[in-house]
C-alpha cells in the first residue's frame, strides 16, 4: 500500500516520490482549490467546464496531489490519456532531453527523426492490412478531420457515415460527426455537410437477443437507403464508444460493417482516439475481433500526456493526397514525439496490454457484485481498463431502461468528496466510466473500488 509508482526519479530533482495512496487532509475541494477557482471564474471563459474544481500540483502513477495537499486516486487518466501513469519516467526523461535539444522547427519546413520514428512505430502497431503509412497532428479532432480528408481523396466521394452516440470532437466537421447536442453542439451550427448518422449496436438498449450481424444489417439498411452505397467515402466508428457511454457493440457488428465497406469501396475508419494504446486490453480495440481498418485515428494515450495525434492506415490511401495537402504548424511537434517514443516504450516494457486485462479482472467482479445489490446499475460493460456502469431508474426493484443521470451524478460526487476522480459520460449522462492509468497498483485500485462501493450503496436504493 505504501509503495511508489516507480523507483526512478521522474523529475530530475531530489524530491520524494509521490506515495501511491489516497490521503485527504482537507475537504475536497479544499480552501486553496476554492481560492484558485475564484480566480479561474474571473479570468477563464465560462465555456470551459471542469468535472471537479480541484487544482492539481503534481501527479505520479495513479495519484494526483492537489493544491491543499490531498492525494486523489485518478480513475480518469485525463480522459484516457496517461495510460502509462502520470510522470512516467520514460516520458519525462525523453521530454526533458528534447526540450533542451530543440522544441520546434515545423516538420513541413525542416523535418526531424522523432516524427519519423513515431510513424514507424504506428505503422508497426496498427492493425492495418498491407503496407501502412502515418501522418501526425495535435488533437483527436484534428486526426478525425484528416482521416475524412484522406478518405475523400482516396475514394473521390463525399459522404461520411457516423453512428448514434458517437463522439469525434469539437471542431466544425467533428461536431457534425458527434451525436450529442448538449454540451457539444447546441448553438454552434451550422455544421459541415455530407455527414450521415446510422444506428449503433447498443446491446443494453437494443431488442433482447439482437446479434451484432443483425445490428449491422439495420445500420447498412439506413446507409443504403439514405446515403447510397456508392456515395460513401468512409464509415467512421469508435470500436468501443467513449463519450457516448462506453457502448461496446455486439460481437459481429464491427466485422460486418468493415466487410460492407470493403465490398462497396468505402474506407472503414476506426476512431481509436480513446480506445488506443492498450486501454481496452489490446493495443487497439479493433484487434479483439480481428477487424482490419483502412484508417485508424489516434491521439490521447499515444504520448503520455503531451498533445499528439495521428492517422495511420493503408499506404495507398495515405498517399492518395497531394504533397502539401496534410499538415499544420505543430503537427508531430518534436517534444510530443519524444513523449510518444517514451510512452510506446513503456507500453511494451511494462506490458500495459496485460495490465489492462488485469484491471478488468480485478474490477468487473466488484462491479457485478454492486449490480447484484443495486438494481439501479442496469449494465456493467467495457473491456480492459475502459469500464463503465450505466445507472437507470428502477420499478419495483427491477431495472428499467429509463436513464438515471442524477443517480450517476450522486455516485460520482460522493467519489470526488472521498478523493477518487471519476467521470460520467453517455448520451443521457447516466454512465459512470472508469479509465485508470494502466500502471495503477492493485491496492490503490482496491481502495478506489471500496470508495465507489460506499458511494453506490448510499446513492442508490437497494
Ligand atoms: N474521438 C473517440 O474520445 C476525445 C473529449 C472530451 P480531442 N474525447 C474526450 C471533451 O469534452 O472535449 C475524442 C474521442 C474520440 C475524438 C476525440 C477528440 O479528441 O483530442 O479532444 O480533439
pLDDT tens, residue order, the chain (462 aa): 344 444 444 455 568 999 999 999 999 999 999 999 999 999 999 999 999 999 999 999 999 999 999 999 999 999 999 999 999 999 999 999 999 999 999 999 999 999 999 999 999 999 999 999 999 999 999 999 999 999 999 999 999 999 999 999 999 999 999 999 999 999 999 999 999 999 999 999 999 999 999 999 999 999 999 999 999 999 999 999 999 999 999 999 999 999 999 999 999 999 999 999 999 999 999 999 999 999 999 999 999 999 999 999 999 999 999 999 999 999 999 999 999 999 999 999 999 999 999 999 999 999 999 999 999 999 999 999 999 999 999 999 999 999 999 999 999 999 999 999 999 999 999 999 999 999 999 999 999 999 999 999 999 988
Q: In sequence order, what E strands does 69-228 have?
A: 71-74, 132-137, 159-163, 195-198
Q: Is residue 161 a part of any domain in this protein?
A: yes
Q: How far is ligand 1, taken at its centre, from the CA of residue 303, in Å?
A: 15
The neighbouring-strand residues paired with 86 are 61
Geometric angle at alpha carbon 6, from 5 and 10, rounded to 5°: 105
- Are 276 and 329 members of one domain? yes
Q: Is residue 257 a part of any domain in this protein?
A: yes
Domain boundary among 314, 349, 384: 349
pTM, rounded to two decimals = 0.97
270-322 pLDDT, tens digit per residue, is: 999 999 999 999 999 999 999 999 999 999 999 999 999 999 999 999 999 99
Q: How far is ligand 1, taken at its centre, from the CA of residue 144, in Å?
A: 10
Question: Whole-angstrom Cα distance, residue 412 to residue 174?
Answer: 28
Which pLDDT score, from 0 to 100, does residue 13 have?
A: 56
211-228 pLDDT, tens digit per residue, is: 999 999 999 999 999 999
Which pLDDT score, from 0 to 100, does residue 15 have?
A: 81
Total domains in the fold of the chain:
2
Q: How far is ligand 1, taken at its centre, from the CA of residue 383, in Å?
A: 19
Question: Whole-angstrom Cα distance, residue 29 to residue 69?
Answer: 11
Average pLDDT, the chain: 96
Q: Is residue 24 a part of any domain in this protein?
A: no
Q: Grid coordinates standing for 37?
A: 477557482
- Are 96 and 145 members of one domain? yes
Of 47, 50, 76, 79, which is best to mutate to test ligand 1, by the most ligand atoms within 8 angstroms of its C-beta?
79
What is the residue with the minimal CA distance to atom 7 of ligand 1?
140
Q: Grid coordinates standing for 83?
A: 495510460
Q: Is residue 139 a part of any domain in this protein?
A: yes
What is the residue with the minimal CA distance to atom 16 of ligand 1?
168
The neighbouring-strand residues paired with 388 are 381, 433
Of 51, 285, 299, 301, which is best to mutate to test ligand 1, by the most ligand atoms within 8 angstroms of its C-beta?
299
Q: How far is ligand 1, taken at its centre, from the CA of residue 197, in Å?
A: 18
Q: Is residue 18 a part of any domain in this protein?
A: no
Q: H or E segment at 236?
A: strand 232-237
Q: How does 396-411 read in b/e, with b if 16+ C-beta sit within 10 Å?
A: eeebeeebbeebbbbb
Question: Whole-angstrom Cα distance, residue 73 to residue 85?
Answer: 12
63-66 and 71-74: which strand pairing? antiparallel
Q: H or E segment at 311?
A: strand 309-314
Q: How far is ligand 1, taken at its centre, from the CA of residue 372, in Å?
A: 32
137-146 pLDDT, tens digit per residue, is: 999 999 999 9
Q: How far is ligand 1, taken at its centre, from the CA of residue 313, in Å?
A: 20
Q: How far is ligand 1, taken at its centre, from the CA of residue 379, in Å?
A: 24
Q: How far is ligand 1, taken at its centre, from the CA of residue 257, in Å?
A: 23
Q: Report the sign of the C-alpha dihedral through residues 91, 93, 99, 105, in that order.
A: negative
Please tell me if the CB atom of residue 238 comes closer than 6 angstroms to any atom of ligand 1: yes
Of 82, 242, 277, 301, which is best to mutate to test ligand 1, by the most ligand atoms within 8 angstroms of its C-beta?
242
Q: H or E segment at 269?
A: strand 267-271
Q: How far is ligand 1, taken at its centre, from the CA of residue 140, in Å?
A: 6
Q: Is residue 11 a part of any domain in this protein?
A: no
- Are 287 and 436 members of one domain? no
Q: Grid coordinates standing for 447?
A: 481502495
Geometric angle at alpha carbon 238, from 237 and 241, rounded to 5°: 130
Please tell me if the CB atom of residue 273 comes closer than 6 angstroms to any atom of ligand 1: yes
- Are 68 and 52 members of one domain? yes
Please tell me if the CB atom of residue 140 comes closer than 6 angstroms to any atom of ligand 1: yes
Domain boundary among 320, 349, 378: 349
Please tell me if the CB atom of residue 163 comes closer than 6 angstroms to any atom of ligand 1: no
Neighbours of 313 (CB within 10 A): 29
- Are 285 and 377 members of one domain? no
- Are 312 and 414 members of one domain? no
Q: Grid coordinates standing for 175?
A: 461536431
Structural domain harbouring 46: 31-87+352-459
Please tell me if the CB atom of residue 308 comes closer than 6 angstroms to any atom of ligand 1: no
Q: Grid coordinates standing for 247?
A: 457502448
Domain boundary among 349, 380, 412: 349
Q: In sequence order, what E strands does 34-126 have?
A: 56-60, 63-66, 71-74
Neighbours of 390 (CB within 10 A): 28
- Are 289 and 146 members of one domain? yes
Q: Grid coordinates standing for 130?
A: 498491407
- Are 66 and 184 members of one domain? no
CATH number at residue 180: 3.40.640.10
Question: Whole-angstrom Cα distance, residue 309 to residue 304?
Answer: 12
Please tell me if the CB atom of residue 167 comes closer than 6 angstroms to any atom of ligand 1: yes
Please tell me if the CB atom of residue 239 comes closer than 6 angstroms to any atom of ligand 1: no
Please tell me if the CB atom of residue 340 comes closer than 6 angstroms to any atom of ligand 1: no
Please tell me if the CB atom of residue 447 comes closer than 6 angstroms to any atom of ligand 1: no
- Are 339 and 360 members of one domain? no
Question: Whole-angstrom Cα distance, residue 388 to residue 279?
Answer: 13
Q: How far is ligand 1, taken at its centre, from the CA of residue 271, in Å?
A: 10
58-78 pLDDT, tens digit per residue, is: 999 999 999 999 999 999 999
Please tell me if the CB atom of residue 386 comes closer than 6 angstroms to any atom of ligand 1: no
Q: How far is ligand 1, taken at its centre, from the CA of residue 268, in Å?
A: 19
CATH number at residue 405: 3.90.1150.10
Q: Is residue 13 a part of any domain in this protein?
A: no
- Are 226 and 335 members of one domain? yes
Q: Is residue 3 a part of any domain in this protein?
A: no
- Are 433 and 308 members of one domain? no
Tell me the three state secondary structure of residue 296.
strand
Q: How far is CA 102 from each of CA 87, 91, 92, 93, 310, rounded to the nearest angstrom?
A: 21, 16, 15, 15, 21
Which pLDDT score, from 0 to 100, does residue 8 have?
A: 45
- Are 156 and 288 members of one domain? yes
Amino acid at each position: 500500500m505504501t509503495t511508489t509508482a516507480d523507483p526512478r526519479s521522474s523529475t530530475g530533482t531530489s524530491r520524494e516520490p509521490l506515495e501511491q495512496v489516497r490521503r485527504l487532509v482537507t475537504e475536497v475541494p479544499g480552501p486553496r482549490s476554492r481560492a484558485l477557482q475564484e480566480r479561474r471564474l474571473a479570468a477563464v471563459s465560462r465555456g470551459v467546464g471542469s468535472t471537479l474544481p480541484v487544482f492539481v500540483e503534481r501527479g505520479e502513477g495513479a495519484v494526483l496531489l492537489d493544491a491543499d495537499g490531498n492525494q486523489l486516486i485518478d480513475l480518469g487518466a485525463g480522459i484516457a490519456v496517461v495510460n502509462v501513469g502520470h510522470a512516467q519516467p520514460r516520458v519525462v526523461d525523453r521530454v526533458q532531453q528534447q526540450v533542451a535539444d530543440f522544441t520546434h522547427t515545423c516538420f513541413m519546413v525542416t523535418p526531424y527523426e522523432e516524427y519519423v520514428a513515431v510513424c514507424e512505430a504506428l505503422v508497426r502497431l496498427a492493425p492495418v492490412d498491407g503496407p501502412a503509412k502515418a501522418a501526425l497532428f495535435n488533437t483527436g479532432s484534428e486526426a478525425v478531420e484528416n482521416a475524412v480528408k484522406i478518405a475523400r481523396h482516396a475514394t473521390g466521394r463525399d459522404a461520411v457515415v457516423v453512428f448514434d452516440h458517437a463522439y469525434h470532437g469539437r471542431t466544425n466537421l467533428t461536431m457534425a460527426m458527434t451525436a450529442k447536442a448538449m454540451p457539444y453542439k447546441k448553438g454552434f451550427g451550422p455544421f459541415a455537410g455530407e455527414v450521415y448518422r446510422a444506428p449503433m449496436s447498443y446491446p443494453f438498449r437494443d431488442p433482447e437477443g439482437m446479434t451484432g450481424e443483425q445490428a449491422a444489417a439495420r445500420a447498412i439498411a439506413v446507409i443504403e437507403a439514405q446515403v447510397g452505397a456508392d456515395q460513401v467515402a468512409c464509415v467512421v466508428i469508435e470500436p468501443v464508444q467513449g463519450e457516448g457511454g462506453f457502448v461496446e457493440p455486439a460481437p459481429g457488428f464491427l466485422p460486418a460493417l468493415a466487410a460492407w465497406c470493403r465490398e462497396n469501396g468505402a474506407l472503414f475508419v476506426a476512431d481509436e482516439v480513446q480506445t488506443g494504446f492498450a486501454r481496452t486490453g489490446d493495443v487497439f480495440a479493433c484487434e479483439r475481433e480481428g477487424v482490419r481498418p483502412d484508417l485508424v485515428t489516434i491521439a490521447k494515450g499515444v504520448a503520455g500526456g503531451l498533445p499528439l495525434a495521428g492517422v495511420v492506415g493503408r499506404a495507398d490511401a495515405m498517399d492518395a493526397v497531394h504533397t502539401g495537402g496534410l499538415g499544420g504548424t505543430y503537427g508531430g511537434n518534436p517534444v510530443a514525439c519524444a513523449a510518444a517514443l517514451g510512452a510506446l516504450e513503456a507500453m511494451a516494457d511494462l506490458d500495459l496490454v496485460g495490465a489492462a486485462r488485469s484491471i478488468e479482472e480485478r474490477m468487473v467482479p466488484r462491479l457485478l457484485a454492486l449490480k447484484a445489490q443495486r438494481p439501479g446499475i442496469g449494465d456493467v460493460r467495457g473491456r480492459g481498463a475502459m469500464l463503465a456502469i450505466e445507472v437507470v431508474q428502477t420499478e419495483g426493484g427491477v431495472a428499467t431502461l429509463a436513464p438515471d443521470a442524477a443517480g450517476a451524478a450522486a455516485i460520482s460526487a460522493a467519489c470526488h468528496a472521498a478523493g477518487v476522480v471519476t467521470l460520467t459520460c453517455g448520451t443521457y449522462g447516466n454512465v459512470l466510466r472508469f479509465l485508470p492509468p494502466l500502471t495503477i497498483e492493485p491496492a490503490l485500485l482496491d481502495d478506489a473500488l471500496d470508495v465507489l462501493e460506499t458511494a453506490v450503496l448510499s446513492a442508490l436504493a437497494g
